[in-house]
Structure 1
Amino acid sequence: MTATTPRALLLHGDRRTRQLLRRGLACHGFEVLTAADGERGLTVLLDELLDLDVLVLDADLPRRDGWSLLRLIRSAGGERDLRVVVVGRGLDPARCAQLRWLGADAALDLAQGAERIADAAEGTAVPSWPALACA
Protein backbone atom coordinates (compact mmCIF):
# COMPACT_ATOMS: atom_id res chain seq x y z
CA MET A 1 0.00 0.00 0.00
CA THR A 2 1.40 3.42 -0.92
CA ALA A 3 1.13 6.44 1.32
CA THR A 4 -0.71 9.39 -0.12
CA THR A 5 0.64 12.90 0.04
CA PRO A 6 -1.36 14.97 2.53
CA ARG A 7 -3.18 17.89 0.94
CA ALA A 8 -3.64 21.34 2.41
CA LEU A 9 -5.73 24.29 1.33
CA LEU A 10 -4.11 27.56 2.38
CA LEU A 11 -6.31 30.66 2.40
CA HIS A 12 -4.48 33.89 3.11
CA GLY A 13 -5.01 37.40 1.79
CA ASP A 14 -1.37 38.53 1.84
CA ARG A 15 0.69 37.20 -1.08
CA ARG A 16 4.03 37.14 0.76
CA THR A 17 2.59 35.46 3.84
CA ARG A 18 0.78 32.97 1.62
CA GLN A 19 4.07 32.10 -0.13
CA LEU A 20 5.91 31.72 3.18
CA LEU A 21 3.24 29.47 4.67
CA ARG A 22 3.00 27.50 1.44
CA ARG A 23 6.74 26.76 1.56
CA GLY A 24 6.49 25.73 5.22
CA LEU A 25 3.65 23.33 4.49
CA ALA A 26 5.43 21.93 1.42
CA CYS A 27 8.56 21.31 3.53
CA HIS A 28 6.36 19.23 5.83
CA GLY A 29 5.27 17.09 2.88
CA PHE A 30 1.95 18.72 2.01
CA GLU A 31 0.66 19.28 -1.48
CA VAL A 32 -0.64 22.84 -1.13
CA LEU A 33 -3.55 24.53 -2.89
CA THR A 34 -3.97 28.27 -2.29
CA ALA A 35 -6.49 31.06 -2.59
CA ALA A 36 -6.19 34.75 -1.75
CA ASP A 37 -9.73 35.48 -0.54
CA GLY A 38 -12.60 33.80 1.22
CA GLU A 39 -14.95 33.53 -1.74
CA ARG A 40 -12.36 31.84 -3.97
CA GLY A 41 -11.25 29.74 -1.03
CA LEU A 42 -14.78 28.50 -0.42
CA THR A 43 -15.06 27.49 -4.09
CA VAL A 44 -11.79 25.53 -3.93
CA LEU A 45 -12.80 24.00 -0.60
CA LEU A 46 -16.12 22.75 -2.00
CA ASP A 47 -14.37 21.33 -5.08
CA GLU A 48 -11.59 19.62 -3.11
CA LEU A 49 -13.14 18.85 0.30
CA LEU A 50 -13.00 15.06 0.10
CA ASP A 51 -9.32 15.12 -0.86
CA LEU A 52 -8.11 17.65 1.73
CA ASP A 53 -6.43 16.85 5.03
CA VAL A 54 -6.11 20.36 6.45
CA LEU A 55 -7.35 23.89 5.90
CA VAL A 56 -5.03 26.72 6.97
CA LEU A 57 -7.20 29.79 7.21
CA ASP A 58 -6.42 33.50 7.65
CA ALA A 59 -8.72 34.92 10.33
CA ASP A 60 -8.94 38.20 8.41
CA LEU A 61 -9.41 37.04 4.82
CA PRO A 62 -10.81 39.51 2.30
CA ARG A 63 -14.25 38.90 0.73
CA ARG A 64 -15.29 36.41 3.45
CA ASP A 65 -13.34 36.35 6.67
CA GLY A 66 -11.94 33.26 8.30
CA TRP A 67 -14.37 33.50 11.21
CA SER A 68 -17.42 33.16 8.94
CA LEU A 69 -15.76 30.43 6.87
CA LEU A 70 -14.98 28.47 10.02
CA ARG A 71 -18.60 28.79 11.20
CA LEU A 72 -19.87 27.69 7.80
CA ILE A 73 -17.52 24.71 7.56
CA ARG A 74 -18.29 23.42 11.03
CA SER A 75 -22.05 23.99 10.85
CA ALA A 76 -22.69 22.74 7.30
CA GLY A 77 -22.90 19.03 7.85
CA GLY A 78 -20.63 19.22 10.87
CA GLU A 79 -17.52 18.57 8.75
CA ARG A 80 -15.10 17.38 11.45
CA ASP A 81 -12.70 15.20 9.46
CA LEU A 82 -11.02 18.28 8.01
CA ARG A 83 -8.38 19.73 10.34
CA VAL A 84 -8.68 23.53 10.49
CA VAL A 85 -5.80 25.77 11.58
CA VAL A 86 -6.61 29.47 11.84
CA VAL A 87 -3.77 32.00 11.66
CA GLY A 88 -3.71 35.74 12.06
CA ARG A 89 -1.90 38.77 13.37
CA GLY A 90 -2.57 39.72 16.97
CA LEU A 91 -4.42 36.55 17.93
CA ASP A 92 -4.48 36.90 21.69
CA PRO A 93 -5.56 34.02 23.95
CA ALA A 94 -9.17 35.26 24.06
CA ARG A 95 -9.50 35.32 20.26
CA CYS A 96 -7.79 31.92 20.05
CA ALA A 97 -10.26 30.51 22.55
CA GLN A 98 -13.17 31.87 20.50
CA LEU A 99 -11.77 30.28 17.35
CA ARG A 100 -11.31 26.95 19.13
CA TRP A 101 -14.90 27.18 20.42
CA LEU A 102 -16.08 27.74 16.83
CA GLY A 103 -14.32 24.54 15.79
CA ALA A 104 -10.72 25.38 14.89
CA ASP A 105 -8.33 22.57 15.72
CA ALA A 106 -5.61 25.16 16.32
CA ALA A 107 -5.34 28.95 16.26
CA LEU A 108 -1.92 30.56 16.01
CA ASP A 109 -0.54 34.05 15.72
CA LEU A 110 1.54 34.49 12.56
CA ALA A 111 4.44 35.65 14.75
CA GLN A 112 4.89 32.00 15.77
CA GLY A 113 6.24 31.31 12.28
CA ALA A 114 5.65 29.03 9.33
CA GLU A 115 7.34 26.02 10.98
CA ARG A 116 5.02 26.07 14.00
CA ILE A 117 1.98 26.61 11.76
CA ALA A 118 3.03 23.62 9.63
CA ASP A 119 3.41 21.57 12.84
CA ALA A 120 -0.15 22.57 13.79
CA ALA A 121 -1.35 21.54 10.32
CA GLU A 122 0.18 18.12 10.93
CA GLY A 123 -1.34 18.01 14.39
CA THR A 124 2.08 17.82 16.05
CA ALA A 125 2.39 21.30 17.59
CA VAL A 126 3.40 21.32 21.23
CA PRO A 127 1.71 24.20 23.09
CA SER A 128 3.94 26.85 24.62
CA TRP A 129 3.38 30.51 25.43
CA PRO A 130 2.04 32.40 23.56
CA ALA A 131 0.52 29.33 21.95
CA LEU A 132 -0.61 27.82 25.25
CA ALA A 133 -4.14 29.12 24.82
CA CYS A 134 -3.89 29.13 21.04
CA ALA A 135 -2.60 25.74 19.89
Structure 2
Amino acid sequence: MRKSILFLAAVAMMFVFASCGGNSPKDAAESYAEMVKAQDYEGIADMMAFPDDMSKEDKDAAKALFVSLAKEKMSKEIESREGIDKYEIGEEKISEDGKTAEVSITFYFKDGSKEEDSVDLELVDDEWKLPYMK
Protein backbone atom coordinates (compact mmCIF):
# COMPACT_ATOMS: atom_id res chain seq x y z
CA MET A 1 0.00 0.00 0.00
CA ARG A 2 2.84 2.36 0.83
CA LYS A 3 4.19 2.06 -2.70
CA SER A 4 0.76 2.77 -4.12
CA ILE A 5 0.23 5.80 -1.91
CA LEU A 6 3.68 7.07 -2.82
CA PHE A 7 2.93 6.38 -6.48
CA LEU A 8 -0.32 8.31 -6.33
CA ALA A 9 1.36 11.10 -4.39
CA ALA A 10 4.05 11.31 -7.07
CA VAL A 11 1.44 11.37 -9.82
CA ALA A 12 -0.68 13.88 -7.95
CA MET A 13 2.32 16.11 -7.36
CA MET A 14 2.63 16.45 -11.13
CA PHE A 15 -0.54 18.46 -11.01
CA VAL A 16 -1.83 21.56 -9.30
CA PHE A 17 -5.22 21.85 -7.65
CA ALA A 18 -7.18 24.79 -8.97
CA SER A 19 -10.16 25.37 -6.73
CA CYS A 20 -9.18 22.64 -4.30
CA GLY A 21 -6.45 24.69 -2.77
CA GLY A 22 -7.12 26.70 0.29
CA ASN A 23 -6.07 29.69 2.28
CA SER A 24 -3.64 27.57 4.26
CA PRO A 25 -1.54 24.52 3.46
CA LYS A 26 -3.70 22.52 5.87
CA ASP A 27 -6.84 23.54 3.96
CA ALA A 28 -5.35 22.26 0.69
CA ALA A 29 -4.15 19.05 2.36
CA GLU A 30 -7.63 18.56 3.83
CA SER A 31 -9.20 18.88 0.37
CA TYR A 32 -6.69 16.44 -1.09
CA ALA A 33 -7.21 13.90 1.69
CA GLU A 34 -11.00 14.13 1.43
CA MET A 35 -10.88 13.41 -2.29
CA VAL A 36 -8.48 10.50 -1.79
CA LYS A 37 -10.82 9.09 0.86
CA ALA A 38 -13.80 9.45 -1.48
CA GLN A 39 -11.77 8.07 -4.40
CA ASP A 40 -12.97 11.11 -6.34
CA TYR A 41 -10.28 11.08 -9.01
CA GLU A 42 -12.46 12.83 -11.57
CA GLY A 43 -13.07 15.55 -9.02
CA ILE A 44 -9.36 15.91 -8.47
CA ALA A 45 -8.79 16.06 -12.22
CA ASP A 46 -11.47 18.73 -12.61
CA MET A 47 -9.68 20.88 -10.04
CA MET A 48 -6.20 20.66 -11.56
CA ALA A 49 -4.47 23.76 -12.83
CA PHE A 50 -1.60 23.66 -15.27
CA PRO A 51 1.02 26.10 -16.51
CA ASP A 52 -0.40 28.85 -18.70
CA ASP A 53 1.69 27.70 -21.66
CA MET A 54 0.27 24.15 -21.58
CA SER A 55 -2.20 23.44 -24.38
CA LYS A 56 -5.78 22.39 -23.67
CA GLU A 57 -5.10 19.06 -25.37
CA ASP A 58 -2.10 18.41 -23.11
CA LYS A 59 -4.10 19.39 -20.04
CA ASP A 60 -6.94 17.06 -21.02
CA ALA A 61 -4.49 14.22 -21.68
CA ALA A 62 -2.77 14.79 -18.34
CA LYS A 63 -6.10 14.78 -16.52
CA ALA A 64 -7.18 11.58 -18.26
CA LEU A 65 -3.86 9.91 -17.44
CA PHE A 66 -4.13 10.93 -13.80
CA VAL A 67 -7.67 9.54 -13.47
CA SER A 68 -6.69 6.31 -15.22
CA LEU A 69 -3.60 5.72 -13.07
CA ALA A 70 -5.37 6.64 -9.86
CA LYS A 71 -8.25 4.27 -10.59
CA GLU A 72 -5.89 1.49 -11.59
CA LYS A 73 -3.44 1.75 -8.71
CA MET A 74 -4.92 3.64 -5.81
CA SER A 75 -8.48 2.32 -5.83
CA LYS A 76 -7.27 -1.28 -5.72
CA GLU A 77 -5.01 -0.55 -2.77
CA ILE A 78 -7.66 1.37 -0.86
CA GLU A 79 -10.18 -1.40 -1.46
CA SER A 80 -7.68 -4.07 -0.38
CA ARG A 81 -7.59 -2.29 2.99
CA GLU A 82 -11.40 -2.12 3.10
CA GLY A 83 -11.43 1.62 2.38
CA ILE A 84 -10.24 4.70 4.22
CA ASP A 85 -11.99 5.14 7.55
CA LYS A 86 -10.59 8.56 8.32
CA TYR A 87 -7.54 10.75 7.93
CA GLU A 88 -5.69 13.15 10.15
CA ILE A 89 -3.96 16.29 8.97
CA GLY A 90 -0.73 16.70 10.86
CA GLU A 91 2.09 19.18 11.00
CA GLU A 92 2.35 21.99 8.51
CA LYS A 93 5.82 23.28 7.63
CA ILE A 94 5.93 26.51 5.65
CA SER A 95 9.20 27.61 4.06
CA GLU A 96 10.88 30.83 5.16
CA ASP A 97 9.88 32.58 1.94
CA GLY A 98 6.26 31.48 2.44
CA LYS A 99 5.97 30.05 -1.07
CA THR A 100 6.13 26.32 -0.34
CA ALA A 101 4.90 24.03 2.39
CA GLU A 102 4.73 20.41 3.45
CA VAL A 103 1.80 18.94 5.36
CA SER A 104 1.75 15.49 6.91
CA ILE A 105 -1.34 13.30 6.53
CA THR A 106 -2.12 10.00 8.22
CA PHE A 107 -4.70 7.78 6.54
CA TYR A 108 -6.49 5.25 8.77
CA PHE A 109 -7.93 2.26 6.92
CA LYS A 110 -10.97 0.22 7.82
CA ASP A 111 -8.83 -2.92 8.21
CA GLY A 112 -7.08 -1.24 11.15
CA SER A 113 -3.89 -0.26 9.34
CA LYS A 114 -2.61 3.26 8.81
CA GLU A 115 -0.35 5.05 6.36
CA GLU A 116 1.67 8.19 7.04
CA ASP A 117 2.35 10.47 4.10
CA SER A 118 3.07 14.10 3.34
CA VAL A 119 1.93 16.53 0.68
CA ASP A 120 4.20 19.18 -0.83
CA LEU A 121 2.43 22.41 -1.72
CA GLU A 122 3.23 25.75 -3.29
CA LEU A 123 1.47 29.08 -3.14
CA VAL A 124 -0.05 29.98 -6.52
CA ASP A 125 -2.27 33.04 -6.89
CA ASP A 126 -2.91 33.12 -3.13
CA GLU A 127 -3.96 29.46 -2.99
CA TRP A 128 -2.01 26.44 -1.79
CA LYS A 129 -1.77 23.85 -4.56
CA LEU A 130 0.13 20.73 -5.47
CA PRO A 131 3.12 21.69 -7.60
CA TYR A 132 3.17 20.66 -11.25
CA MET A 133 6.27 18.64 -12.09
CA LYS A 134 7.61 19.01 -15.61
Whether these two folds match at TM > 0.5 is: no
Which interval holds the TM-score relative to the shorter structure?
under 0.3
Higher relative contact order (CA 8 A, sep 6+): 2
For normalisation by structure 1, the TM-score amounts to 0.23
**Which of structures 1 and 2 has the bigger CA Rg?**
2
For normalisation by structure 2, the TM-score amounts to 0.23
Pick the structure with more strand per residue: 2
